[in-house]
A and B are shown apart, each in its own frame.
Chain A
Amino acid sequence: AQSVAQPEDQVNVAEGNPLTVKCTYSVSGNPYLFWYVQYPNRGLQFLLKYITGDNLVKGSYGFEAEFNKSQTSFHLKKPSALVSDSALYFCAVTGGGNKLTFGTGTQLKVEL
């Protein structure tokens, strides 16, 4: 079985400050990890993925994520938050194939 935990329902950060959205996972075998973002009344937009290789993955809109195998974590980060980053963020995992298991989501609120 595979699972994802996003321990924070909401993260608040001031514009210009760095942001972190946390994600831990559990999966049999090698993990394939993804971050998606969802804006109100929209589908999910792909941000970045970890398949193999470098533990630091860079993605869209200045986001990056660090894969940590020993801590089974894949936290999403951005050096300088924008108000327009405010949205719902989902971490997802698969042990292979397209059956993604999603976390419960973290609402990011970036304030001026």
Chain B
Amino acid sequence: KAGVTQTPRYLIKTRGQQVTLSCSPISGHRSVSWYQQTPGQGLQFLFEYFSETQRNKGNFPGRFSGRQFSNSRSEMNVSTLELGDSALYLCASSLPSGRVDEQFFGPGTRLTVL
């Protein structure tokens, strides 16, 4: 079974631009979560989508947004990029079993903002 895939793997943008990252979950997984990983702040939860609806949200500004499509694929968007948005963005998927299940992570998208 294929794992979680994220595209692109690397991205370089300049301040003020916007960016869209994509995540394809494991087949059959309907929950997709996004995390930001930086050396200073560590791993921080951005948001979770389930059945095309945002189910949970972390403490990030409104410049960070996401969506989920009917095939469970998800995208996250960051508008008006700032230098501090440089990070590894990780996507994770899990089953909707009704219990708390482990999340399976993709390799991440490394975003560099210049």
| Partner-B contacts on A (CB < 8 A) | 32, 34, 36, 41-46, 49, 51, 90, 92, 94, 96-105
Taking CB atoms, residues of chain A closer than 8 Å to B100 are 32, 49, 51, 94, 96-98
Q: A42-B107, A43-B107, A44-B105 are in contact. Are A99 and B42 (CB under 8 A)?
A: no
Q: A98-B48, A98-B94 are in contact. Are A43 and B106 (CB under 8 A)?
A: yes
In the complex, which residue of chain B has the Cβ closest to the Cβ of A103? B42
- Whether the Cβ atoms of A99 and B56 lie closer than 8 Å is yes
Q: State A34–B90 Cα separation when bound (angstroms).
A: 17
Q: Answer whether residue B108 sits at the interface, using C-beta atoms and an 8 A cutoff.
A: yes
Q: State A96–B99 Cα separation when bound (angstroms).
A: 8
| Partner-A contacts on B (CB < 8 A) | 4, 31, 33, 35, 42-45, 48, 55-56, 58, 90, 92, 94, 99-100, 102-108
Taking CB atoms, residues of chain A closer than 8 Å to B92 are 44, 98
Give the tally of cross-chain contacts (CB within 8 A): 60
- Whether the Cβ atoms of A97 and B42 lie closer than 8 Å is no
- Whether the Cβ atoms of B42 and A45 lie closer than 8 Å is no
- Whether the Cβ atoms of A46 and B43 lie closer than 8 Å is no
Chain A: minimal CB distance from B42 (Å)? 5
Of B31, B42, B48, B56, most A-chain CB atoms within 10 Å? B42
Q: Which of A32, A34, A99 contacts B45 (CB 8 A)?
A: A99
Q: State A99–B33 Cα separation when bound (angstroms).
A: 8
In the complex, which residue of chain A has the Cβ closest to the Cβ of B58? A99
Q: A44-B90, A104-B42 are in contact. Are A98 and B103 (CB under 8 A)?
A: yes
